[in-house]
Amino acid sequence: MAMTLTRCIREDRTLICSLKYIEKTMESPEFTKPISYPIDGIWANSSKLVPVLMLLTPGSDPTSTIEELARKKKKFPTKNVSMGEGQEKKAKAVMDECTVSGGWVIL
């Protein structure tokens, strides 16, 4: 009942309410923790011909983890482009530049 009421009154709080319900019902936060694959494993399975694509949830930001790996692999600094309206040309230019130089781009 509380989740239905939350959905009706504050739709933006539905996810939080659902997570709390699952934790309480299952008596463990194990089922609501985000699953994170180690960046080193992603790097090991990647290739220079195929980009790595990370699908993110609200509040997640792997930028610092990616930049830390870039430091280890001597690919720092990374080129970051915040994708929004009108950023396509800038992103394409940075990707073209890094294709030649071997740099990393975070979009």
Q: What is the pLDDT of residue 79?
A: 92
Q: What is the pLDDT of residue 51?
A: 79
As a whole number, mean pLDDT of residues 36-59 equals: 80
Predicted TM-score (pTM) of the model is 0.59
CA-based nearest residue to 104, from 18, 42, 20, 56? 42
Q: Is the dihedral of CA 32, 38, 44, 49 positive or negative?
A: positive
